[in-house]
Structure 1
Amino acid sequence: MRHTLPFAPQFYVTAPQPCPYLADRMERKLFTALQGEQAEKLNDALSKQGFRRSQNVLYRPSCADCTACLSARIDVSKFAPSRSQARVLRRNRDLSRRATSPWATEEQYALFRDYLDSRHAEGGMADMDMFEFAAMVEETPVRSRLVEYTDPDRIEDDRRGLRAVCLTDILDDGLSMVYSFFDPSEPRRSLGTHLILDHVRIAREMELPYVYLGYWVPGSPKMDYKARFSGLEIYRAGRWQPLGDPKGYDSETHPLSVAPISEQVARIALPDTRPVPG
């Protein structure tokens, strides 16, 4: 008789390091490996609980005395573009969208370098070379796509008209925008906003209810833009809830605001991996 061991991924905690969002804070992450035949189920289940994917790892902030980082997603059924967002869609009507397998190219890397040098020159990815970029894009054990946006009128330039790229996971209940980058030389296009708006459109086409955006951090200017999308929900106190008034949140710290790691892990709901009866 064959016996199947229960699905029990191991969770770990990173060492504290400077927070990239809030000054004078230290961040810490709870993480687990994403591998094997249960990878997609685990990614689906943990994404619903505030986790994000980075290559073969799922992680969630677990700072010692801070709970400012809140996982955010758009409820597609409740989203309606604002006037400024509608203008962004009109400005980018000339762009062509193409979804491909997650395979890195030199054109993508050139755009990625321009984006980092302009927007995140001091960030943790600033020194990423082509091989590391390829690993970020290609090392995925789940259903992922690279969504490319090109300008047909500039197809002969050094990047073959490439204007924006998003690495996107396809979950059982939505699209997860893992990482995106775009041409920083055309600020009037608001390409970062356009990427999100178009992913809402893709989710509707695929009849998926959510678009996962990563983390919204009150008090961080880098993350203010996410609160501008209607239908936004945040994962807080173990459940998804409407964002409401962004000004009603703060980023104050308190040593008792975070549950012990063992308690956090015990609360994680793992996917049911039992075979479905035939």
Structure 2
Amino acid sequence: MTSQPRDAPQFYLTSPSACPYLPNREERKVFTHIVGRRGKELNEILTQGGFRRSQTIAYRPACDACRACVSVRVLVDEFEPSGNMRRVLKANADLIGNAMPNRPTSEQYSLFRRYLDARHTDGGMADMTVLDYSMMIEDSHVDTRVIEYRRRGIDSGITGRGAGDLVAVCLTDEMSDGLSMVYSFYDPDQQDRSLGTFMILEHIRRAKAMGLPYLYLGYWVEGSKKMGYKARFTPQERLEAPGWVRVD
């Protein structure tokens, strides 16, 4: 009689459901649990293999007749912002990001709810309660940080922290070869700042400063307005059948 070691992952396949990215398509996902003493190691292996993390679940698309979801990671050492991206950085020069332990706060949840109510009222996260949010932030067996973005204060150069109201948040995994942006949200009333783009640019800078070669952005989906923006951050690598392929 044989048995699986307690830390060995077991994979499962979901039932078909409506695709959130492309019309008239169905999606299926393969998933496993990231728990136990090998959680960090397993998360890195799976992320490098095209999986994404949500709490203690790692998943990737496993659709029968579609391969539109493509994992993307930015080559941070070679990345140069475009003119538009430089304007975004300039517009947000008054913000500073601070890496915090993955602990939820009422201020974060208030911003999270405003973001969902303004941008994703019909999404799968629309009904998330404060308890759901707390689990999304805290339920992790890997190295996870919450990056909070606030306006610079008069002593930010000394403390390294921002001051004032919370403007944007990103839940970020730290791995041996890069940072992975798990989920981000921001003040929906400050659209002129392009905060989503800014957080990616700031994470590229952050990864480079940490000596990490990659920033993992999750899935790029050709033909999807929701995910098309990820193609702008080049050079990048996309995970295809032969492996990671460079795109300039």
Common fold by TM > 0.5: yes
Q: 1:186 aligns with which of 171, 182, 190?
A: 190
The Cα of 1:53 is off from its aligned counterpart by 0.5
TM-score by length of 1: 0.82
- Name the counterpart of 1:217: 221
Does the 8 Å contact 1:49/1:238 carry over to 2? no
- The within-5 A match list for 1:42-61 is 42-61=42-61
- Name the counterpart of 1:132: 132
Larger Rg computed on CA atoms: 1
- The within-5 A match list for 1:1-278 is 5=5, 8-152=8-152, 160-244=164-248
Does the 8 Å contact 2:143/2:174 carry over to 1? yes
Residues 135/7 of structure 1: CA separation in 2 closer, same or farther (3 Å cut): closer
Structure 1 unaligned blocks of 5 or more: 154-158, 245-278
Aligned-partner SS, 1:161: strand
Aligned-partner SS, 1:43: helix
Q: Distance in 1 between matches of 2:77 and 2:55?
A: 29
Aligned-partner SS, 2:227: helix
Structure 2 unaligned blocks of 5 or more: 154-162
TM-score by length of 2: 0.92
Aligned CA-pair RMSD: 1.6
Q: Distance in 1 between matches of 2:188 and 2:240?
A: 33
List 4+ stretches of structure 1 deviating above 2 A.
Answer: 4-8
Q: Distance in 2 between matches of 1:6 and 1:137?
A: 25
Aligned residues: 236
Q: Distance in 1 between matches of 2:17 and 2:211?
A: 39
Does the 8 Å contact 1:74/1:233 carry over to 2? yes
Q: Distance in 1 between matches of 2:5 and 2:125?
A: 38
The Cα of 1:151 is off from its aligned counterpart by 2.0
Q: Distance in 2 between matches of 1:135 and 1:238?
A: 36
Greater strand proportion: 2
- Give the letter aligned to residue 177 of structure 2: D
- Give the letter aligned to residue 239 of structure 1: G
Q: Distance in 1 between matches of 2:91 and 2:182?
A: 24
Q: Distance in 2 between matches of 1:230 and 1:18?
A: 30
